[in-house]
Structure 1
């Protein structure tokens, strides 16, 4: 598949009217759902310029979420690395602990405007589920969250938070802890889609990342763009008007990455880095590095890059980070990679755990295992680059949800 240069200004051209980002995207849901998705597209197109909608969204982000989140210079880590300077956009300081609430609030507002009474979604690590349950409670909506059975056990604290907030939590997939990734994010997505199909008249599918058919990837990018807009302005203020040399984010579906990348996508001097989970090895079934090992295919209603078996079915994947256990990427991430706009890197589980402990002891920040992928790579990159360069990394979530699991499995590293 030959790559083509990106059209600029980027945000004015992607997606196209059919929901495509270059060769990726589109709407491959069953025809029975097409009217609902078309209505959602039409509704957002009218609301995105509506002063009342925009004003309400901004007010909720300020008073409920706690935006803007700060930009934080990682002084201790930068001094120890003695290379490029590392800055973190602290999305972990959002209410509910991650960037996910940015689009959950947006979806809840959309649901009210199109007269839907319920939000349905999938979740991996549980951060999206907690954020959606929070938004639903705030706006008086029902909430149903589908979560892989393994993740229900692994992320018990987030399951409890969702239920406390009034959400119904549905366990999906296998219950046993299997290495092939069963009972994780893909199973949750399949289960949520089936539930939405049965309840589309009264419910809105508040998808958890920039995946799925049009308009979902576009909506998630639109609501997450606040991350990059803030980070760009904050960085320019801190640096005296100079942009970062590198912008780094972990990638599975792509919500946190697109939230950051789109603010810099037209800046050719800024290198964008997408960091994937290499798990325990590059062997099949031991990682979830889709851009590195996948090929074109269709998953959850969109054409994208997918890790596949020989029969084109989604292949088993794994990662220590529940939110990254997905055999595909969002179509826009696939497009940016195909066009050569983003560089792809991989980080192993072992590197993630080392970074988890390092950030806690060295910076006083307990980071999500998902975010630790991005930070681990940012540290590696900083060692290779001169001290005159600056790296901006999206610290997309806090690691409170991961503490019990990490201490149980890797507590012997505490003394290192």
Structure 2
């Protein structure tokens, strides 16, 4: 079998699957935001649709993904992990790791931050805001803003800032303003709410880079598409390494960007199992876990309808 050299081509053609006219994927999604932001979302949607099939945008993005981000990332055979789960007869799963940690800034988050900054520049935006929890999305956004000379403000919960001091230092070193958020539990949820409030206050010059498959339409669609390069690379890398498809694709699920990026190109492959793993904490039958998809109830948060972990008062 002779394959074209995939390192020369970054496939940035996006998923044809679109939400309905109201921004819903079935029951999920939508636009539940203040009227002040509706014009921004309409402008963003129109801008995004204009670049989906724009050859010049796709060429610029593909070039930067290759030469700046460092794509394609390797599909690495985890020999010792494979040995750990081998059966006595020597059979068992062959485990490969998609090395998104080898991208510039050390996580997949830069795929989306880069693409959204390119889009924001086309829309004439000069100020970028973002929220972050563990800090990787904030670092990626600050890095890309430094690359293109844009003002960057990152909202981060005070508890997350304490836990992730090194990433806070990196963001500030890159010229970003890191704004502490002390509301509520002082974590990612509150940071996202603070970012939305800021966007309402400065809607004209600001673009908000959502880092998860969350937020009002068109963000879930955009974040999915900008990370879909992960799964597309796995497809040709699997053919290159063993000449077939994987049996299982496994990803952690927090905000969903990593998992959706891996899964999107494989949704129609019925023979491939797609498994997302949520944080169970002290158990899904306790109140101390983050298994939103497993134990959540339908609700509206951060501008969209999705599963949420809710108190009895909210249900």
Match of 1:79 in 2: 83
1:122 to 121, 131, 136: 131
Match of 2:32 in 1: 28
How far residue 197 of structure 1 moved from its aligned partner, in angstroms, is: 1.1
Work out the CA distance in 2 between the residues paired with 1:11 and 1:116.
26
1:275 to 268, 277, 282: 277
Work out the CA distance in 2 between the residues paired with 1:84 and 1:62.
31
Match of 1:42 in 2: 46
User: Number of aligned pairs?
Assistant: 297
Match of 1:105 in 2: 114
How far residue 16 of structure 1 moved from its aligned partner, in angstroms, is: 2.3
5 Å matches for 1:16-415?
Answer: 16-82=20-86, 83-173=92-182, 182-240=185-243, 242-312=244-314
Residue pair 2:230, 2:261 contacting (<8 A) in 1 also = yes
Q: 1:139 to 1:47 in 2, by over 3 A?
A: same
Work out the CA distance in 2 between the residues paired with 1:144 and 1:153.
18
Deviates more, 1:163-172 or 1:13-22: 13-22
How far residue 14 of structure 1 moved from its aligned partner, in angstroms, is: 3.3
Q: For residues 99-139 of structure 1, what are the alpha-carbon distances to aligned partners after superposition, in whole Å with 9 as ceiling and x for unaligned?
A: 00000001110111000001101001000000000010111
Residue pair 2:15, 2:225 contacting (<8 A) in 1 also = no
Match of 1:14 in 2: 18
The residue matched to 2:96 in structure 1 has which SS? strand
Match of 1:328 in 2: none
Work out the CA distance in 2 between the residues paired with 1:125 and 1:283.
25
Work out the CA distance in 2 between the residues paired with 1:230 and 1:293.
32
Higher relative contact order, structure no. (Cα contacts within 8 Å, ≥ 6 residues apart): 1
Q: For residues 231-265 of structure 1, what are the alpha-carbon distances to aligned partners after superposition, in whole Å with 9 as ceiling and x for unaligned?
A: 1111121111x111111111122100010000110
Q: For residues 310-358 of structure 1, what are the alpha-carbon distances to aligned partners after superposition, in whole Å with 9 as ceiling and x for unaligned?
A: 1217xxxxxxxxxxxxxxxxxxxxxxxxxxxxxxxxxxxxxxxxxxxxx
Q: What is the TM-score when the length of structure 1 is the normalising length?
A: 0.70
Match of 1:396 in 2: none
Superposed CA RMSD: 1.4
How far residue 283 of structure 1 moved from its aligned partner, in angstroms, is: 4.5
The residue matched to 1:247 in structure 2 has which SS? strand
How far residue 12 of structure 1 moved from its aligned partner, in angstroms, is: 3.1
The residue matched to 2:290 in structure 1 has which SS? coil
How far residue 76 of structure 1 moved from its aligned partner, in angstroms, is: 1.1
